[in-house]
């Protein structure tokens, strides 16, 4: 589309449009700038700022391939109730599986910090579950980002502990904190317009994921020796959900969404435990490279079989719900 320029667009508008890929900007930039000019003509500064943020956010989605029309966006929207439920369930694990130990932490000292660090995660998990059950996705995102920030702080402390760059300790802490960061990113990345309403199906999915996610995390807890997992099981907890995500190559969105939700909880623990059991990267690579190669072959095979089954179109292979 060839059009004259609109006049000098504001710095904020130009900056927001920079988030879009160049090809998209060429195709739609002038048109979007015109709509932006009309919508902000009589708006105050805060309304203009919201418009700019919204424009930039969609640009980032287009650039990352996470729009409501993309396969990745639809998988993330399907996975969102499961990710939120699983994260909530995992946050409640210490209080459900070992309430005495959690209560004992409160008696360590009388500081507000101890109280806050002990009570905040389960309270946030309950808030997260309630928000997900009610279909309040903005609240779900805010709470999950809060949990991610909390996890990031704890992880940063682990890295800067008495022994600088203690990878073992950081790995242990990371097993407990990285899932919240991955989950928050997935929930923020899911296209808002595709997130499901508070139907009974969604609520059931959230509740089932709370139970499933809680059990999965309880199983992986490194400080609980009641259910010690062999390293093979950590490989299974990594490889099986990865294989599930490959189903997207055949246009099956629902199993891929399950894979994404499981991976949000198992990736950190699996990678760390496999690395730990292999006793270093040099021992791990000869084992891991053939597995990764095999997974790539499986993905290529599924891609070839799945060609033409609608993974790029609106059909979605019949496994996902209509994105309209």
Partner 1 sequence: MQEPTLLLLTALADAPRHGYALIQEIATISDGRVKMRTGTLYGALDRLLGQGLIEVAAEEVVDGRARRTYALTDAGRTALATEAERLRAVATEAERRLAKVRSMLQGKTGPELRSTIGGSFA
Is 59 a binding residue for partner 1 by CB under 8 A? The answer is yes
Stretch (H or E) spanning 264? helix 253-278
Is 69 a binding residue for partner 1 by CB under 8 A? The answer is yes
Q: Near partner 1 by CB under 8 A, which window of 29-37, 133-141, 249-257, 298-306?
A: 29-37
**Of 260, 273, 79, the residue nearest 174 (C-alpha):** 273
Binding mask 181-220 for partner 1 (x = CB under 8 A): ----------x-xx--x-----------------------
The Cα–Cα gap between 37 and 161 comes to 51
Q: Near partner 1 by CB under 8 A, which window of 24-32, 137-145, 223-231, 282-290?
A: 24-32
Yes or no: say if 274 and 231 are a contact pair by the CB < 8 Å rule.
Answer: yes
Furthest CA-CA distance within the chain: 70
Is 141 a binding residue for partner 1 by CB under 8 A? The answer is no
108: Cβ contacts below 8 Å, ≥ 6 apart = 114
DSSP string, 211-244: HHHHHHHHHH-TT-TTSPPPHHHHHHHHHHHHHH
Is 228 a binding residue for partner 1 by CB under 8 A? The answer is no
Q: Near partner 1 by CB under 8 A, which window of 64-72, 90-98, 253-261, 269-277?
A: 64-72
- Choose between 13 and 87: whose C-beta lies nearer to partner 1: 13
Task: Supply the minimum distance, in Å, between the C-beta of residue 2 and partner 1.
Answer: 9
The Cα–Cα gap between 19 and 5 comes to 19
Is 54 a binding residue for partner 1 by CB under 8 A? The answer is yes
Please pick, from the candidates 12, 68, 159, 298, the single residue that binds partner 1 as defined by CB under 8 A: 68
Task: Supply the minimum distance, in Å, between the C-beta of residue 175 and partner 1.
Answer: 36
**Of 85, 94, 188, the residue nearest 128 (C-alpha):** 85
The Cα–Cα gap between 242 and 221 comes to 21
Contact positions toward partner 1, by CB under 8 A?
1, 3-4, 6-7, 28, 30-39, 50-51, 54-59, 61-62, 67-69, 191, 193-194, 197, 313-314, 322-324
């Amino acid at each position: 589309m060839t059009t004259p320029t609109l006049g000098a667009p504001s710095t904020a508008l130009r900056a927001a449009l920079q988030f879009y890929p160049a090809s998209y900007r060429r195709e739609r930039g002038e048109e979007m700038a015109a709509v932006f000019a009309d919508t902000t003509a009589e708006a105050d500064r805060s309304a203009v700022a919201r418009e700019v943020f919204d424009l930039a956010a969609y640009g980032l989605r287009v650039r990352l391939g996470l729009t409501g029309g993309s396969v990745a966006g639809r998988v993330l929207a399907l996975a969102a109730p499961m990710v939120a439920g699983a994260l909530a369930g995992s946050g409640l694990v210490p209080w459900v599986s070992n309430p005495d130990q959690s209560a004992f932490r409160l008696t360590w000292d009388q500081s507000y910090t101890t109280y806050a660090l002990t009570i905040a995660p389960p309270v946030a998990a309950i808030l997260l579950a309630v928000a997900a059950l009610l279909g309040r996705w903005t609240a779900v995102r805010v709470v999950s980002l809060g949990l991610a920030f909390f996890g990031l702080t704890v992880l940063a402390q682990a890295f800067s502990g008495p022994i600088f760059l203690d990878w073992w300790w950081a790995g242990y802490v990371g097993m407990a904190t990285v899932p919240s960061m991955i989950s928050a990113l997935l929930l923020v990345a899911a296209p808002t317009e595709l997130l499901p309403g508070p139907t009974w199906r969604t609520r059931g999915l959230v509740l089932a994921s709370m139970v499933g996610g809680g059990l999965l995390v309880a199983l992986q807890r490194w400080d609980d020796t009641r259910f010690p997992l062999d390293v093979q099981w950590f490989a299974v907890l990594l490889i099986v959900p990865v294989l599930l995500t490959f189903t997207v190559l055949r246009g099956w969105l629902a199993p891929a969404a399950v894979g994404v939700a499981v991976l949000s909880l198992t990736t950190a623990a699996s990678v760390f435990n496999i690395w730990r059991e292999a006793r270093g990267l040099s021992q791990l690579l000869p084992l891991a490279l053939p597995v990764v190669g095999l997974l790539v072959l499986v993905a290529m095979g599924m891609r070839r079989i799945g060609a033409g089954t609608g993974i790029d179109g609106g059909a979605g292979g019949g496994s996902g719900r209509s994105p309209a």
